[in-house]
Amino acid sequence: MGIEFLLTSLIVVIAPGPGAVYTLANGLGRGARIGIIAAFGCTLGILPHMIAAISGLAAILHASALAFEVLRYAGVAFLLYMAWGAWRERGTLAVGTSGAETGSAWRVIRSAILINLLNPKLSIFFLAFLPQFPAQPGQSALLHMLGQSAVFMAMTFAVFAIYGACAGAMRRHVLSRPAILAWMRKGFALAFLALGLRLAVAER
C-alpha cells in the first residue's frame, strides 16, 4: 500500500464533515469517552459504503436516480434533525453537566452510524477513490481493496478519536463559561444545518 494512498486518505479523513462535527460536539458536550464512542460509530457508518463500493452496489446507486435521491433526502432530514437537537440541546447532543454523561453509548453510536450511512455521496466517493490505487501485478484485487478499506477505517477512527479526546479535554473549560457554551451549541447546530443544505444541493 503506497504512501500516496495513505496521504490522500489522511487528507480526506481530516477534512471537516458531519462525522467530525458530531464527534467534536459529543466530546465537548459530554466528555472524551463519549467523543471516542462517537468516533467509533462514525467509523462503523462508512463500512456499508465501502462494502457497496467493493461489491459494485455503489455503481447501482450512482446509476439509479431514485435510490440516490431517497437516501440523500433521508440524510438531509437526519442532519436537520441533528441541527435541531443541537440547538435545543436534546438527544445525544445534550450537554452533560457532570461526569455521568446523559444517554447511552448505544444511542451515540446509532446516531453516528446514521450520519454516515445516510450520505449516498460516500458510496460514490469510495467507488471513485479506491480504484485510483490499483493492486500490484499478481495481487488479488479484492484483497487489495479490503486492505485499503481496513486502513481507511483505522485512520478514520484514529483521527476522529483524537478529535473526541481533545474536545473532551476542553470540556471543563467550556462548561465553566455559559456564554461560550451557548455559542458552541448554536455553532454546532448551524454546522449541521449547513451540512444538510450542502447534501441537499449536491449532485450525483
Per-residue pLDDT of the chain (204 residues; tens, 9 = 90+): 678 889 999 998 998 889 999 999 899 888 899 999 999 999 999 999 998 888 888 787 777 778 788 888 898 999 998 888 888 766 556 655 444 444 578 899 999 999 999 988 888 888 888 888 888 888 888 898 899 999 999 999 999 999 999 998 988 777 777 777 778 778 888 988 998 898 888 766
Give the pLDDT of residue 88: 79
Give the pLDDT of residue 155: 95
3-class secondary structure, 92: helix
Contacts of 45 (CB under 8 A, 6+ apart): 19, 112, 113, 114, 115, 116, 117
Alpha-carbon gap, residue 19 to 1, rounded angstroms: 25
Give the pLDDT of residue 58: 78
Give the pLDDT of residue 54: 87
What's the distance, CA 122 to chain centroid? 10
Total-model pTM: 0.84
The closest of 49, 47, 46, 19 to 35, measured between CA atoms, is 19
Return the C-alpha cell found at 93.
447532543
Give the pLDDT of residue 102: 47
Give the pLDDT of residue 60: 76
Query: 174 and 180 in contact (C-beta within 8 Å)?
Result: yes
Alpha-carbon gap, residue 203 to 135, rounded angstroms: 30
Alpha-carbon gap, residue 28 to 13, rounded angstroms: 20
Calculate the CA dihedral of residues 123, 160, 193, 120 and round it to 10 degrees.
10
